[in-house]
Amino acid sequence: MILEAKISNPSTGEIDREISTPLTAAQHEALFAHPEIVAGRYPLLCRLTEHRSGAHFAHRELESLIGELEWASTLFAFEHPVKQFFGPFHTLCCIAFCRGHDVQLRSDGL
């Protein structure tokens, strides 16, 4: 199962269909197989633990999520599959933050 990360407008609920990034089941499994990716250290990132349910990050949470992504990124080698998600997801979160929007990850085709 693939989750698709997209930017959403918190006022209208409109989804930006131009910018997205997938989180594959293999990337998800590799991310949470790392022993340091735990809720106490990465509470926002760990919302993705339940791959099937997706996640929602409000604009007010994005600055902290971006920080968690940057710290967690140091745990994985450059060519690791998790980095293939982290790079684009980090960019998507930064764009959403600058626009004052939210970020959603869902599997239902947003």
Which residues partner with 57 through β-bridges?
103
| Residue-wise pLDDT tens digits, 68-104 | 999 999 999 999 999 999 999 999 999 999 999 999 9
pLDDT at residue number 2? 87
Q: DSSP per residue over 24-36, as a string? A: -HHHHHHHHHSTT
The pTM assigned to this predicted structure is 0.93
Q: How does residue 50 score in pLDDT terms, banded at 50, 70 and 90?
A: confident
Give domain limits for the chain: 3-106
How far is the C-alpha of 97 from the C-alpha of 37, rounded, in Å?
A: 23
Which residues partner with 102 through β-bridges?
8
Q: How does residue 54 score in pLDDT terms, banded at 50, 70 and 90?
A: confident
How far is the C-alpha of 16 from the C-alpha of 35, rounded, in Å?
A: 34
Buried b (16+ CB within 10 A) or exposed e, 61-90: bbeebbebbeebeeebeeebbbebbbebbb
pLDDT at residue 110 greater than cutoff 50: no
